[in-house]
Amino acid sequence: MPASVLNQLLSNPKELEAVLLYHVVGNARIYSDEIPPFVVERTLNGQSIEIRSDSRGVVVNDVAKVVQANVDGVNGVVHLIDTVLIPPAFAAFAF
């Protein structure tokens, strides 16, 4: 993430919260082998993400690849991705 975008987010807690919650789907504990070939999920910031799963792995919004799946946590399972997801409302940040 460019320093200018990070600085913008750090100076605006509401924007930072929106970006962070865009990374969380709160409906269930879903492991990578349970993800269907294509699904749209609503994130905790209220916007949707597209998740694709096939023999090559799991990809979110056609940009973020899951690099480590199925990390168990106390309140869910985490799938680590290789990039920061930016909600559509922040498209003006231009990467």
pLDDT in tens, 53-94: 998 899 999 999 999 999 998 889 999 999 999 888 776 655
Q: Domain 3-88, what architecture?
A: Roll (2.30)
Judge contact between 43 and 25, C-beta under 8 A. yes
Q: What is the pLDDT of residue 72?
A: 94
Provide the whole-model pTM: 0.86
CA–CA separation, 27 and 68 (whole Å): 20
- What single string gives the DSSP state of each residue in the chain? --HHHHHHHHT-HHHHHHHHHTT---S----GGG--SEEEEE-TTS-EEEEEEETTEEEETTTEEEEEEEEEETTEEEEEESS----GGGGGG--
Tokens of 43: 């994130």
Q: Map out the domains of the chain as residue ranges.
A: 3-88
